[in-house]
Amino acid sequence: METIELSLSDIRKLTFDILITQGCDKKNASSISQIITDAERDGCESHGLFRLPGYIASLQSGKANGRAEPKLTTKSPVIIEVDGQKGFAPIAHEVGLPRLVSAAKTFGVAALSLRHILHFAALWPETEYLARNDLVGMACTSYLPKVAPHGTKSALFGTNPISFAWPRKDNHPICFDMATSSTALGNVQIAAREGKLVDEGIGLNKLGEHTRDPAEIIQGMLLPFGGYKGSALSLMVELLSAGLTGDFFGFESEAQNHDDGGPALGGEFIVAYSPSMISGEEWPEHTESFIRRFKSLDGAYLPGERRYAKRRDEGTRKINKALYDTIMKLN
């Protein structure tokens, strides 16, 4: 694979400039270019520049609003709703997350219901933000149907990711962010681009038959991870991020989607807990005793560590040359 090298500030500026060219205002362009740069910084290739053509597609089709001014309302002291006004998720987070932090610190638990957003990024930025404010964070969002519920041969669920972050006093948060599908669709798209087969159990072709060909899976569907248990969790994500927010289920989003290849309209549900209030001030020492035990096991991996390791490297990032060329044509 031919690559080029870009610095993180190059990535941010390139992305920002393209988004401005495509009609975003500065606040929207800034929040999206930051989230894309953060993904490249952390080695999350599938959520970095790889996503930019999709963002642009949703702007060009008129589905996404690049000048969104999200509206915040409080339904109770601990229920915050942000209407993203059909903008991308990052600017809605900028409006909602600080208020979520404040409510969770005051009352011990609070929830942020996001509606009318287009979420095309990873979810760890929002849960990591909560954990860096000494809160436990959980977030989930649904997406266009691409996953067959366990036992079926038809896509109904999205890849429906869940993210969770646990705060640590003198360390990066523990933080995972995972699709409830066998893998993220971005990974299958990258395998297709690179001409590689994927593992058995990742997905089905459009007839509902097992296949290892990523191109066939893109035409067909993914499977949930972990059989019926992962399928139940994917159902939970669909219910929380659509049923509970009141926004689109994946199949509803699909029914009115512009089919532009970009992200779709939907909701996201985020909850934050204050361990200081729930457990008391001794929570950091108590939990560190467990983390030490965990890390003492041969082969144990604390979620988030690979990202933080990549993050320590402030140098250039290798970018797929074909992707770069595609992006430059958008400018």
Establish if 280 lies at the interface with a second copy (CB under 8 A). Answer: yes
Pair of tokens at residue 89: 């998720």
Establish if 249 lies at the interface with a second copy (CB under 8 A). Answer: yes
Nearest distance, CB of residue 151 and a second copy, angstroms: 4
Q: Which helix (H) or strand (E) holds 254?
A: helix 250-255
- Round to whole Å and give the CA distance between 181 and 71: 32
Contacting a second copy within 161-200 (CB under 8 A):
164, 166, 174, 176, 178, 180
The pairs formed by 243-248 with CB atoms below 8 angstroms and a separation of 24 or more are: 244/113, 244/269, 245/113, 245/114, 245/115, 245/269, 246/113, 246/115, 247/114, 247/115, 247/116, 248/142
Binding segment toward a second copy, per CB under 8 A, in 10-18, 83-91, 226-234, 310-318: 226-234
Binding segment toward a second copy, per CB under 8 A, in 22-30, 51-59, 103-111, 185-193: 103-111
Please, what is the angle between helix 26-41 and helix 89-107, to 10°? 80
Establish if 1 lies at the interface with a second copy (CB under 8 A). Answer: no
Binding segment toward a second copy, per CB under 8 A, in 33-41, 61-69, 213-221, 289-297: 289-297
Establish if 159 lies at the interface with a second copy (CB under 8 A). Answer: no
Q: How far is CA 45 from the centre of its chain?
A: 12
Fill in the amino acid letter for 191: A
- Round to whole Å and give the CA distance between 276 and 255: 44
Binder of a second copy out of 118, 122, 136, 139 (CB under 8 A)? 136
Binding segment toward a second copy, per CB under 8 A, in 10-18, 116-124, 214-222, 244-252: 244-252
Establish if 236 lies at the interface with a second copy (CB under 8 A). Answer: yes
Nearest distance, CB of residue 213 and a second copy, angstroms: 22
Establish if 207 lies at the interface with a second copy (CB under 8 A). Answer: no
- Round to whole Å and give the CA distance between 116 and 103: 22
Is the Cβ of residue 251 or residue 324 nearer to a second copy in the bound state? 251
Pairing of strands 265-273, 109-118: antiparallel
Establish if 306 lies at the interface with a second copy (CB under 8 A). Answer: no
Cβ atoms 68, 83 nearer than 8 A: no
Establish if 228 lies at the interface with a second copy (CB under 8 A). Answer: yes
Cα 24 to Cα 9, 42, 108, 245, 254, distances in angstroms:
19, 25, 37, 26, 24
Is the Cβ of residue 34 or residue 205 nearer to a second copy in the bound state? 205
Per-residue x/- marks for a second copy, 63-82, CB under 8 A?
Answer: ------------xxxxx-x-
Nearest distance, CB of residue 310 and a second copy, angstroms: 18
Tokens 């809160």 locate to 135
Nearest distance, CB of residue 228 and a second copy, angstroms: 7
Nearest distance, CB of residue 74 and a second copy, angstroms: 10
Number of residues lying near a second copy (CB under 8 A): 70
Cβ atoms 145, 178 nearer than 8 A: no
Other CB atoms closer than 10 Å to residue 219's CB: what's the count? 13
Establish if 303 lies at the interface with a second copy (CB under 8 A). Answer: yes
- Round to whole Å and give the CA distance between 160 and 297: 31
Is the Cβ of residue 20 or residue 291 nearer to a second copy in the bound state? 291
- Round to whole Å and give the CA distance between 282 and 286: 6
Footprint of a second copy (CB under 8 A): 75-79, 81, 106-111, 113, 136, 148-154, 156, 164, 166, 174, 176, 178, 180, 225-230, 232-233, 235-236, 238-240, 242-246, 249, 251-252, 271, 273, 275, 277-280, 282-283, 286-287, 289-290, 293-294, 297-301, 303
